[in-house]
Amino acid sequence: MFEQCLIYLAIFFVALLYSSVGHGGASGYLAVLSIFGFIPSEMALSALILNLLVSAVSFIAFRSTGNFKFKLFWPFALSSIPFSFLGGLLPISAKVYNILLSSILIFAAYRLIQFNGKINQLEKKKEFSVFLALVLGGTIGFISGLIGIGGGIFLSPILILSGWAEVKEAASISALFIWVNSTAGILGRYSHATPIVYGSLLPLIISAFLGGLVGSRFGATQWSQVTLRRLLGFVLLIAAFKLFYISF
pLDDT tens-digit map of 43-63 = 888 888 999 999 999 899 888
What ranges make up the beta strands (E) of 23-177? none
pLDDT of residue 67: 79
pTM over 0.85: no
pLDDT of residue 233: 77
Query: Rounded distance, CA 28 to CA 37, Å?
Result: 14
Query: Rounded distance, CA 120 to CA 160, Å?
Result: 8
pLDDT of residue 122: 47
Query: Rounded distance, CA 173 to CA 70, Å?
Result: 8
Type of residue found at 92? I
Burial of 66 (0-12, 13-18, 19+ CB in 10 A): exposed
pLDDT of residue 178: 94
Query: Rounded distance, CA 14 to CA 20, Å?
Result: 10
